[in-house]
A and B are shown apart, each in its own frame.
Chain A
Amino acid sequence: MTISFSAGLGRITSALTVALMVTALALPARADTVNVAIIGEPDTFDPMMSTKDVVSIVTQHFVETLYTFDGSWSVVPLLAQSLPDISNNGKTYRIALRQGIVFHDGSAMNSADVVASLNRWLTVATRGKGVADKIDEVVATGSHSIEIRMNEAYSPLLSLLAFSNSAAAIYPEEILTGDTIDQVIGTGPYQLVDHVPDQYIQMARFDDYVSRSEPSNGAGGTRTQAPDEIRFLPVPDPNTRVEGLLSGQYHFADGLPTESYGRIDGASGADPVLLRPFGWPIFAINHKAGLLTDLNIRQALQAALPIDDMLFAAFGDENFFVVDAPLYPEGWAWRNNAGVEYYNQNDPTRAAGLLKTANYDDTPLRILTSRQYEFHFKMAEVAKVGLEAAGFAVHMDVVDWATLGQRRNDPALWDIYITHSPFLPEPALTSLYAPTSRLGWKEKEKDDILNNFTTQTDPAARRDLFAQLQQKVFEDVGFIKIGGFNALMGKSSDLDGVAPSPWPFFWNATLN
């Protein structure tokens, strides 16, 4: 009895293994399907409701906005016919809509859909709510034209309308009946076919899509709908994304560990995609409560930080970071050198003097950070050493990201929290400068500059104002930019037509 059971087990296992191996090796690859490994499951398919990058990456394929960004991060029209006609006082935006645009449910887009969508965006979206008090009304002025009427000029509005993150997405009016949308319906080049949580998000080409006719440029221009299908595969473990890419299972993999660069570079079927620069690590400072409400202590913090050591510890290889003071990297219109002398001082003596002036009493400086992003933690560890050398007492509060997300909303619990952001096309897209943000950075002169910056419409004047704003960031230590860092992604050698971006898109991707 036992012999036959044991032998049977062996036979079953052998047969099963052989059968499955044969099947595994014989699986055909769909040449017209692009498989994209992303860092996790998107929290929602409604991009109005989240500011997470992974939500933007996925949803931009089936939901569109009035405007978008081209390859040089300039605003270009998408569902709007052209850039808006803005009144001389900057308070009225007249927007003509493209005709013949069809939603995935077959209905045609008109001004009623756009007005309803923008009104919802102003009510529920984080970025929409941030501008809602400046907008009197959004009205339809024809079947395919709308007006946005404002009570004060707000120059970042177009960038907000173009951004895929907390996006001013355009939906059919009929689905906007409650707080949430049961089934997201957009106008994008791909439509959602199937979604198995934590397994795949399947999108198929939308046959009735009407592309713009201009040449493709960034997210603007023609969207060729080259792949029949795009499948987003949530793969939370970065090493698994690397192995899946190298084994040929994924055509594109987002958010890869920097240590894997050499392996991908040396592989025959895959290439590294380095997004240089991707973004900036930030020490967000609590201006509402605690130690850092004192300017001298903030300046001591800024003076003490060993920035280059922190970046080296965090990223390990100079290929992946840059010690760079300005708030925007080389090549961006916003780049300037105002206040850069305050960056990377690494001067414990000066810091100690400032602490003495502030009558610092050894109250611990609380750094809230997480190991979910290992580079945050490594930066904090090195910062702690530098700060202690200058005379700070430092308390590290190392928690998981969910806890950090909760604690940073309570100013009583932290002095610094560590975060990061991609470089955004428009400075006002980040809340860091705003007095109403969770940092609570209020300073009259800065607030006046910020107000002028957001109401000024002349690009050259805006650049000058941003330089003044950057000066204040350094002088008043509103927050601390630690440096710049690059992001590593990877693609199959067969994949073309995907530009490196914090929010990569695949409608122009081709597989050889």
Chain B
Amino acid sequence: MTSYLLRRIFGLLVVVLIVLTIAFIIVRLAPGDPAALMLGPEATPEDAVALRAQLGLDRPIFLQYLTFAANAARGDLGDSIFFNQPVLHVLAARAEPTIFLALFSLLIALVIATPIGIYAAYRRGSWLDQISISTAMLAASVPSFWTGLMFQRYFATELGWFHAAGYGGPDATFIERMSYLILPSIVLGIVNSALILRFTRTSMLDILGEDYIRTARSKGMSERRVILRHALKNAAIPIITVIGLTFALLVSGAVVTERVFNIPGMGNLVVSAVLRRDYPVIQGTLIVVATLYVVINLLTDLCYLLIDKRVRY
């Protein structure tokens, strides 16, 4: 177990190093000049050159990379060109909305997908099964920006049930800030429930055909106990895998939904950073996202230990 964890942590470091290098190269290969953008339309080319020098962007690329890598090794991801703040500070400010949006969305997705997926498998071929599959296909097919816009228009603007956008003002309490996440969480929950529903149904169908399920039934066990105690527990590993992946995706930033609802999270940040060519923020976000992916995958793998005693690392 210890050696497994050490191997995974070493793997994490390798992934971060690769991402760090690729991120650095890619953002600099992309055309566009943050200095020209910051100065505005009337600025002269000479103004842009001067600002590039002030920002250190005129230094040789290799030197910039060495400085970046050395600083990153010490946990310093540099300063945002646009915000004039440390990147870690900028990212930390985005953590709260993104993490809670991910948690709420996942909760909503699980509440929708798990019971329906189980029941659809149990009643395979029934009208509910057909409807759940069709609805899941629809939810997965409709772009989340469209769902977001429609929900925003009807539930926030027309009905006034929710906030249309934002994350609260300076005097907003934690609960008030969370209230801004309800509508986007519902949108993301619905979109992400489709995948979890399909995985739950498929996984349960596989298990329900197993001999030990038939044996359990022949012993007179109640259907409820057979389904929830024996079938679901054994079907859980693929379901947990897809939940882990979904959560990793959500934590790394629900780009479109955050944009539509103007939530100042990681997704919104990365879009703005790309448009502004804020190189340090783009690099920092990619490194943090890659790390989150690996850590969440590791935690998902460790969850298998709790579900299935036969799993050994």
Chain A contact residues, CB within 8 Å of chain B: 1-3, 6, 9-10, 12-13, 16-17, 19-21, 23-25, 27, 33, 35, 40-41, 43-44, 49-52, 55, 126-127, 129, 165-166, 179, 193-194, 196-200, 202, 231, 233, 235-237, 239-240, 243-244, 246-249, 372, 399-403, 405-407, 409, 419, 421, 430-431, 436-438
Contact = CB atoms under 8 A, between A and B. Distances in A.
B33 interface: yes
Identify the 6 closest CB pairs spanning chains A and B, nearest first: A402-B32, A51-B40, A406-B33, A51-B42, A24-B179, A405-B36
Given A403-B32, A409-B45, A249 B166 contact: yes
B42 A126 contact: yes
Given A21-B182, A399-B31, A9 B39 contact: no
Given A2-B233, A10-B111, A246-B157, A27 B176 contact: yes
- Chain A interface secondary structure, helix, strand, loop or mixed? mixed
A23 B179 contact: yes
Contacts of A49: 38-39
Contacts of B262: 233, 235-237, 240, 244
Contact of A196 (B38, B93, B152, B156): B93
A21 B161 contact: yes
Contacts of B160: 25, 247-248
Contact of A438 (B37, B44, B180): B44
A197 B272 CA distance: 11
B147 to A, nearest CB: 14
A1 B160 CA distance: 39
Contacts of B167: 199
A196 B264 contact: yes
Nearest to A411: B45
Contact of A200 (B36, B169, B229, B275): B169
Nearest to B162: A24
Given A165-B42, A402-B277, 8 more contacts: A13-B107, A16-B107, A17-B182, A197-B85, A200-B170, A247-B160, A409-B48, A431-B44
Contacts, number: 195
A12 B261 contact: no
Contacts of B30: 403
B166 A233 contact: yes
A16 B110 CA distance: 15
A55 B42 contact: no
A6 B115 contact: yes
B196 interface: no
B275 A237 contact: no
Nearest to B94: A198
B163 A24 contact: yes
B164 interface: yes
A165 B41 CA distance: 11
B37 A405 contact: yes
Given A13-B107, A240-B164, A193 B170 contact: yes
B269 A198 contact: yes
Interface in B100-121: 104, 107-108, 110-111, 114-115
Contacts of B228: 2-3
Contacts of B111: 9-10, 13
Contacts of B157: 243, 246-247
Nearest to B115: A6
Given A2-B228, A197-B90, A240-B165, A437 B44 contact: yes
Contacts of B182: 17, 20-21, 24
Contacts of B169: 33, 35, 200, 202, 231
A223 to B, nearest CB: 23
Contacts of B32: 400, 402-403, 405-406
B237 interface: no
B223 interface: no
Given A23-B175, A240-B260, A52 B170 contact: no
Contacts of A43: 37-38, 40, 82
A233 B170 CA distance: 11
Contacts of A10: 111
B108 A27 contact: no
B190 to A, nearest CB: 13
A233 B228 CA distance: 49
Interface in B166-204: 166-167, 169-170, 175-176, 178-182
A193 B30 CA distance: 37
Contact of A51 (B34, B39, B161): B39
A450 to B, nearest CB: 16
B40 A243 contact: no
Interface string B233-245: 1001000000000
B43 interface: yes
A44 B37 CA distance: 11
B38 A44 contact: yes
B152 A243 contact: yes
B214 interface: no
Contacts of A24: 161-163, 176, 179-180, 182
A53 to B, nearest CB: 8
B42 A127 contact: yes
Contact of B179 (A9, A27, A165, A236): A27
A242 to B, nearest CB: 9
Contact of A402 (B37, B153, B264): B37
A23 B169 CA distance: 14
A21 B276 CA distance: 35
Contacts of B58: none
Contact of B83 (A165, A197, A400): A197
Nearest to A421: B41
Contacts of B259: 236-237, 240
Contacts of A55: 40
Contacts of B176: 23-24, 27
Contact of B272 (A9, A196, A236, A431): A236
A50 B39 contact: yes
A313 B38 CA distance: 30
**Max chain A Cβ within 10 angstroms of own Cβ: one of B30, B31, B83, B269:** B31
A6 B116 CA distance: 12
A402 B34 contact: yes
B69 interface: no
B76 interface: no
B99 interface: no
A372 B85 CA distance: 26
B232 interface: yes
A52 B33 contact: no
B43 A51 contact: yes
B277 A243 contact: no
Contacts of A166: 40, 42
A16 B51 CA distance: 48
Given A126-B39, A237-B260, A247-B157, A16 B163 contact: no
Nearest to B46: A129
A298 to B, nearest CB: 22
Nearest to A199: B264
Contacts of B175: 19-20, 23
Among B37, B85, B114, B152: residue with most chain A CB under 10 A: B37
B31 A431 contact: no
Interface string B289-301: 0000000000000
